[in-house]
Amino acid sequence: MHLLQVVLILPDKGNAMEKKDLDFFRDLLKTRLDELLHQAGDTVSDMNDTKGNFPDPTDRAAYEADRNFELRIRDREYKLIKKVKKALERVDDKTFGICEKCGDDIAIARLKARPVTTQCIECKTKEEALEKALGL
């Protein structure tokens, strides 16, 4: 019975983010998403262009290395697109800015630096320390 009383007394750890802040982050995330999608479209059209025949194997190797590098960048951007879309979903359902680990608010400064983050700095620091300790 005492445990139930303690739970009822604890303050709500819900998101205290105001509507203007949510609107700011929605606009920021939508702009970033548009930029990423535009870049992805450019990559697809560039990949469809044949760059000609390379009689010199060194030129061909350099071209392939550049192309592989570009594909790795686009793969990272694709993953970022997914994170941005999920962040927009959190904005819409008003869970944006709430740490998925502890439920505390994520600092606005952290969200401005990395708007797709899902953890407060304390939880992220602990997670990274654990990963480092485990060699992950």
- For the chain, the domains span 17-96, 97-136
Q: 103: closest CA among 13, 18, 7?
A: 13
Q: In the prediction, which pLDDT does 41 show?
A: 72
Q: Cα(120)–Cα(105) distance, rounded to whole angstroms?
A: 7
Q: In the prediction, which pLDDT does 73 show?
A: 87
Are 18 and 96 within 8 A, CB to CB?
A: no
Q: Cα(117)–Cα(14) distance, rounded to whole angstroms?
A: 17
Going by pLDDT thresholds of 50, 70 and 90, the confidence category of residue 13 is very low
Neighbours of 115 (CB within 10 A): 21
Going by pLDDT thresholds of 50, 70 and 90, the confidence category of residue 53 is confident
Which amino acid is present at 55? Answer: P
pTM above 0.85, yes or no: no
17-96 architecture in CATH? Up-down Bundle (1.20)
Are 121 and 102 within 8 A, CB to CB?
A: no
**Residue 77 in 3-state DSSP?**
helix
Q: What is the DSSP letter of 12?
A: P
| Mean pLDDT of all residues in 33-46 | 78
Q: What is the pLDDT of residues 60-113, one digit of tens each?
A: 888 888 888 888 988 899 999 999 999 999 999 999 999 999 999 999 999 999
